[in-house]
A and B are shown apart, each in its own frame.
Chain A
């Protein structure tokens, strides 16, 4: 069974600060997805990274896929209260529809 460990599990910071969330595994994935989930709702896809070393930016969010395709990070610049939520990474493998989710990072941005 492939496992994805996310750290930190909980993070509470002031508005305007920067932060990084990590997603690590001992297994290789063909792609990594990042989702954000708000209370009472399902996860919503933020980005998919598929190439080792790939970096994608989504406004103030920067996503990176590790060179060996075993890990990923999410960096948020100048966090805002609207960034509050549960952040989930999820890995896929070629020819396999089984999406493996990480344990999640619950982020709270304090105004």
Chain B
């Protein structure tokens, strides 16, 4: 199994540009989430989804959009990139009925906005 796959691994954007971070999982997990990780601040939840067609905001949703048209995919869209969005982004998924097993994380996308 590939687990959680994130693309791209690295990206440099200019301020004001838009882009989509891709996330796909092949484990048929219902729950998927996006986090950003900044130095000294741990991981902060951006958006999450409990199933196809259902999304909700996390702690830091401003400037980001998500959609969940299939169980496998959960893309994160940056509408107009800002330097404050420079961060490492992680996608994660878990099985709805496996609360004890926690989340499986992708290997991350390192985004720099100049």
Contacts and interface: CB of A to CB of B under 8 A. Distances in A.
How big is the A interface, by class?
Answer: 20 to 34
B12 interface: no
Contacts of B40: 9, 103
Contact of A101 (B4, B42, B99, B106): B42
B46 to A, nearest CB: 11
Contacts of B56: 97
Given A42-B92, A42-B106, A99 B99 contact: no
A104 interface: yes
If over half of A's interface residues share one DSSP class (helix, strand or loop), that class is named, otherwise mixed; here it is strand
B105 A42 contact: yes
Interface residues of B, number: 27
Contacts of A50: 99-100
A98 B65 CA distance: 17
Interface string A44-56: 1100101000000
A42 B33 CA distance: 13
Interface in B75-114: 90, 92, 99-108
